[in-house]
Structure 1
């Protein structure tokens, strides 16, 4: 894997990946010939042996850059726990004990210096992801303290050496830590002398020294406390580097440092770090460098980093959305082999679409804060919904969907969970308007959302699932998700039927599942397999009328399945009673859904008809109200229920014919307008059934007219 040939490296990476999966999963999966397979007695020992080889090859100078990246990628995929429910993180603890310093050796390597192993543009980002994954997999304060101690020892060791190259190595390692486990990075940054050295190296005449120091300064400015310190001590230095340096690599990095400091107030319109118009000038320069194809990609990506910070300002968002050349250049970089740009592009798009979470404070608390002369965040006028919709339209026109689809396809540690969440947020914003959903689906957005809804942060998965729900509601699911892909949509939608999701998310998931449940029995079986039916039943009791109606509509399609019908047939439950009562509610949408479900159940399961009179003493009044409704759909549902009751038992038929239902059906059977033909047909069949029972008889009056009389 460490050979120079990229094809050999990639093939070996895939082979090792399969070997790791076989050792970690054992032979639990159904694999042909597994009975004859020779299995190691202790898979964990074999696994650790393979991991030891990967760790040992990381700092070796003979290993190619691509091979080193592959080793890091395998460690990212195989070492941390797949689920926090698994209590065993011993593999992570073992890797930290055996190999953390080797990982830091790679993280601290400065590519421009000759004494380090060869790196690619993605190596440092991959190290950041690996370190972050390992740190997040720790369970206790003691384990985290040990991780901090090992990192501090490494940084202190190199920083304490007399040579300048060792100090650069420690600063580079701190930069990687700041991009990964930032809490650890901030602790190492606070060690004596490191921040001062970074500031002083920014003024160095050596380009490599300047570059390492400026990058560290950029990553250090992430915290408001640190940004304040750098604003006081380093802004003048960054401005000098930006204006006076003759090297574009240094200038663009200094620009990003200024951008990051200028955005320290976030979206708060009243918290501006620089003078009016300064952020717009910085953003203009970022866009200029972004569009400059003569610059190397690793320099142009820093321009996107700058925009990721500056686009907190709504004026910058507006100018970027208007600049089609800058958008095109950004999307081309997102599709390139440079994986380090992914998060910056994702963050920029989240800011432009305003798809970040905003907590709107209680108006009374705002007034109280103003009275107490406390700072209250202000929203920029150009962050109003009308401006956001215009920006979304311009992004769609510029090809944002195809860029996002390419980003999702990247198999790289740089596509972190945070990056996935950014992409999910942007997709959700793009499908907010119904008229834009077709374009998103046509360019591959539906397919890209499925992996986003199954992997990543909990919030990111919810956002992606909600976007899938919006698409499924308004588009034909068989076209939006062709073939087997339609079955993959069910699980994300079912995940939205949770108490920690909003009512809007619950409502949209129910509507989407309603559409899927009406397509085929196989899809209904898939919905049942995901245990969504009990959740749907639970939402039928929800206080919010739209959610309650949507859940009942979903149940109306689900009862097409025999297995769901059996739930209503089973003795000792009030499911049927709920449907009868809902058929008499004021909410017309709920009445339609409940009456439709009742009509379906009484058609498929005739034994339920005898139970209806026992559900409530008002059942006959509810049925009469359906038959007398002005809404033809409710009339038809009522007529079908009445017909099913008539067919089920003679006693039920007699009860109906002895009430006002006879007169109502007689009127409905005469029909009239063409649209009433279905109601008239069902009503006529009810009367025919009564005649066959001998409950009523047909009298032919004068002029050929026909009247009905009850024999009782």
Structure 2
């Protein structure tokens, strides 16, 4: 801003004002003519004329001249160059008459207080309003807003009272009077819930205040009355609406569009407790059963969604609906050809399972559920019907996939800590062979049940889940026996199609429980038949055999056998086959065998350059849109194996077209793990244990093989690849993969995605891009539902984001609650020290936001004791980070109570840390002590008892070279002196008096608030009569 002042004639000044706004860079030019009268008091009349260079805006009056010279008034100096801010006028020209100098904001406030006490609320309001226009101090403005709120309450203008009280609280959230007045205003406005929260806060701060307690009691009574009256009106209104919808749906003469609207209205009503109860009590289940038989898809969908509302979280209604509708009808609806109907029925059954299982877990039940039998029989019946759907030819492909998906979610235990896996054992005994019937189906050869492209992968996931849920060798042996019996039965059949069916089942097992698949592959004649079938003239036989061969190469022992016996066959198929489906599968087989050495640069399976040629062909097929999606998926599988080679990684990240094709293909459920594995390899985010150099030298001396790292796997190459992937849009692709709700999104796949995210946020400058593209939101479910390793990786990525980003922006709204638990889990002793350190720093940032959003959640997750544990850690950075976290947590009343409790050394530890050499630790400890002594003055008296060197520690803080430490030290000294006279005497008897005197005399502008606080310390000592100031002079003069 530029101001040019020119005297044009006596008592007349012309000011040229040039300025700009903060948000936009518009330039304003205007003149300000100020007429100064010679009357005592110097009344000033200002006239402004303004014009904007880009947009018409009024000019803000920003110059005030009180006279020609300098004038002393109340210790303040006012010159004619002094500037004050006034509210912007809403006209191009205006005349403003400013109050006299003697009538300042403080005088007006005192006058307003006198008028308010005398009962003149309107006069007090006028004074406070004028004072607000003159006040430039935020604290004073908050007091004026609070007082004006009281005036508005007297005048019964409750909306303005609430607004002014809120403004006061914005400046000072701890202003209990403003909060009480806002509660009163909200009560009169009918916003009882908000008023109750304010009154509750007031009562917590001052429990003995009878006015607060009375308002809280009155609000509680009013809220209960409102709930009862509203509940009755809502109940009668809901009943009428339900009856109206039923009447319309049962009317055969009604139009279809009206029936569809009525059915949709039932969906909305069922999502409310009162509406769901009315639908159920008015015999709505029978009506919904009729709607399920409708030929109109929209009405069937509405019926299913209404049933979801009835069953959600209600065991008794769910059991009644299961008995009323029957599982055969529900399974028939799910097995219908319509994909949307099938998904809706699947969701209904999922809700039913959850309602019944949650009901079994509850120890205390509602009165409507007190006499219900255990629903275990219904659950078994539901599982049996789902298993019966597996081989049924009348069930559609999407319906079968939905049934498999339900089995994946409901059968295995949610946690291995639960010892009861009886449901899994029952499913294995009664349904394993039915699942294998689906797994062994080759749609092109047999009249088996209809399948989708996702069905084989879904079967693999289900089989793997069942196998992993078994607890002992005898249970696993039973699983192996049933699988071997199935394979041997079909393999012993003379028809070639039966052998193909058996091999297809083995292929599915190899993709799921691979140990079981390898055992069945070792059965007599199975492997030989697979190799022989690779040369079959039947394309379907060839395809099944080659796929089985590829999956079998996953085990090193099997890969060596295939390398010796099947490489020539695969090469021949790749070169001579005229069918692209066979060629791409043969190529993937070669890719898998070529990557058998993993990341070991010294173990080359093929000749130099062969791997790059295979990768080039895979990228070519991947980018070929004319090929079917199944063939392109196999190209991604090939890249997943070949990207163990760093040369292949470099070529892939340079090929943007191939990357985009892979990201687009990641929307396909069956290719999720292949894409995840490829990205893990490209980002080098797999775990690599660096061997001890001495052991490496010893191995070389003993002529043992030592793995070698590829030169292009160095960190500099990895960082460049990460940057190229970010620019190609890898974050958006990963977010889409996380959103996939499919059995193909296995925990192993989630772990791959979590590893890639952790690699992407490794560099601080890349984290903003990851958050902007939805990475922060996608990491939260990865940190809660994943493998143990995947949870840690995702949690560490969240920690890195929280450290360097504003948590309220990275995790907006209620999502910030969900970040706390993963971060607290990183404090586990099994995590690395780096992960502990990053979690502590992230929690420090979260704890500094506010009480409701973060600190209470951190305390609820029992993180305080873990943070205290790391305050004893030997590593300096970890110890300092834990102390910083405790400093922010100390803002919470619950943590302060822990320090107030006797019989512990929490306070002693903080005091001793203030005397450590590590400056970062001292700052954190001194900040904690300053916070505690300010909020809990009774802790001040216990400081001398913590250590005999407490005075030396405090003096060292006051004499520190660091301004931050001196600031904390002087605040601690002030809190101690304000707490007790005896403590003040001890401080003044020490060298602290001289130190504080010197600090108080330092230049205020240069030292900031330190000298002011030091002056306050001395004033406290003067007030106690311990020291005296010179007669007639300030203590600092």
Deviation at 1:559, TM superposition (A): 0.6
Provide the C-alpha distance between the structure 2 equivalents of 1:605 and 1:76, rounded to a whole number of angstroms: 54
1:318 pairs with 2:650: yes
Provide the C-alpha distance between the structure 2 equivalents of 1:568 and 1:38, rounded to a whole number of angstroms: 45
SS state at 2:691 partner: coil
- Change over 3 Å in CA distance of 1:30–1:143 after alignment to 2: closer
Pairing partner for 2:861 from 530, 538, 542: 530
Deviation at 1:111, TM superposition (A): 2.1
For the Cα contact (< 8 Å) 2:1004–2:1011, is it kept in 1?
Answer: no
Which residue of structure 1 aligns with residue 795 of structure 2? 465
Which residue of structure 2 aligns with residue 11 of structure 1? 344
- Change over 3 Å in CA distance of 1:486–1:563 after alignment to 2: same
Which residue of structure 2 aligns with residue 381 of structure 1? 711
Provide the C-alpha distance between the structure 1 equivalents of 2:1020 and 2:366, rounded to a whole number of angstroms: 63
Pairing partner for 1:559 from 854, 876, 890: 890
Pairing partner for 2:404 from 66, 72, 81: 72
- Change over 3 Å in CA distance of 1:536–1:675 after alignment to 2: farther
| 1:217-236 equivalent positions in 2, closer than 5 A | 217-236=549-568
Which residue of structure 2 aligns with residue 22 of structure 1? 355
1:475 pairs with 2:808: no
For the Cα contact (< 8 Å) 2:593–2:605, is it kept in 1?
Answer: yes
1:177 pairs with 2:506: no
| 1:425-574 equivalent positions in 2, closer than 5 A | 425-522=755-852, 523-574=854-905
Deviation at 1:699, TM superposition (A): 2.0
Pairing partner for 1:245 from 572, 577, 582: 577
Q: Deviations over 1:498-517 (max 9, x none)?
A: 00000111011111111111
| 1:270-289 equivalent positions in 2, closer than 5 A | 270-289=602-621
Which residue of structure 2 aligns with residue 256 of structure 1? 588
Instruction: State the aligned residue count.
Output: 703
Deviation at 1:15, TM superposition (A): 0.6
- Bigger Cα displacement from structure 2, 692-701 vs 242-251: 692-701
Which residue of structure 1 aligns with residue 469 of structure 2? 137
Q: Computing the radius of gyration over CA atoms, which structure comes out larger, 1 or 2?
A: 2
Which residue of structure 1 aligns with residue 390 of structure 2? 58
TM-score by length of 2: 0.67
Provide the C-alpha distance between the structure 2 equivalents of 1:671 and 1:408, rounded to a whole number of angstroms: 59
Larger relative contact order (CA 8 Å, sep ≥ 6): 1
Which residue of structure 2 aligns with residue 598 of structure 1? 929
Provide the C-alpha distance between the structure 2 equivalents of 1:115 and 1:27, rounded to a whole number of angstroms: 41
Deviation at 1:37, TM superposition (A): 5.5
1:639 pairs with 2:970: yes
Provide the C-alpha distance between the structure 2 equivalents of 1:648 and 1:527, rounded to a whole number of angstroms: 30
Which residue of structure 1 aligns with residue 1003 of structure 2? 672
Q: CA RMSD in A?
A: 1.5
For the Cα contact (< 8 Å) 1:179–1:219, is it kept in 2?
Answer: yes
Deviation at 1:698, TM superposition (A): 1.0
SS state at 2:915 partner: coil
Provide the C-alpha distance between the structure 1 equivalents of 2:477 and 2:991, rounded to a whole number of angstroms: 80
Pairing partner for 1:269 from 601, 613, 620: 601
Provide the C-alpha distance between the structure 1 equivalents of 2:1034 and 2:447, rounded to a whole number of angstroms: 107
Q: Deviations over 1:11-42 (max 9, x none)?
A: 110110011111111176799x9643597513
SS state at 1:382 partner: helix
For the Cα contact (< 8 Å) 1:700–1:707, is it kept in 2?
Answer: no
For the Cα contact (< 8 Å) 2:1004–2:1012, is it kept in 1?
Answer: no
For the Cα contact (< 8 Å) 1:291–1:325, is it kept in 2?
Answer: yes
Provide the C-alpha distance between the structure 2 equivalents of 1:15 and 1:675, rounded to a whole number of angstroms: 69
SS state at 2:395 partner: coil
Deviation at 1:671, TM superposition (A): 2.2
SS state at 2:945 partner: helix
Q: Deviations over 1:269-296 (max 9, x none)?
A: 0011000000000000000000000011
Provide the C-alpha distance between the structure 2 equivalents of 1:276 and 1:655, rounded to a whole number of angstroms: 82
- Change over 3 Å in CA distance of 1:238–1:168 after alignment to 2: same
Provide the C-alpha distance between the structure 2 equivalents of 1:27 and 1:101, rounded to a whole number of angstroms: 29
Which residue of structure 2 aligns with residue 96 of structure 1? 428
For the Cα contact (< 8 Å) 1:27–1:34, is it kept in 2?
Answer: no
TM-score by length of 1: 0.97
Q: Deviations over 1:299-336 (max 9, x none)?
A: 1000000000000000000000000000000000012x
Provide the C-alpha distance between the structure 1 equivalents of 2:761 and 2:637, rounded to a whole number of angstroms: 26
- Bigger Cα displacement from structure 2, 375-384 vs 675-684: 675-684
Which residue of structure 2 aligns with residue 210 of structure 1? 542
- Bigger Cα displacement from structure 2, 110-119 vs 600-609: 110-119
Pairing partner for 1:354 from 684, 697, 710: 684
- Change over 3 Å in CA distance of 1:381–1:641 after alignment to 2: same
Provide the C-alpha distance between the structure 1 equivalents of 2:822 and 2:1007, rounded to a whole number of angstroms: 41
For the Cα contact (< 8 Å) 1:40–1:46, is it kept in 2?
Answer: no
| 1:135-174 equivalent positions in 2, closer than 5 A | 135-174=467-506
Which residue of structure 2 aligns with residue 396 of structure 1? 726
SS state at 1:489 partner: helix
Unaligned runs of 5+ in 2: 1-333
Which residue of structure 2 aligns with residue 295 of structure 1? 627
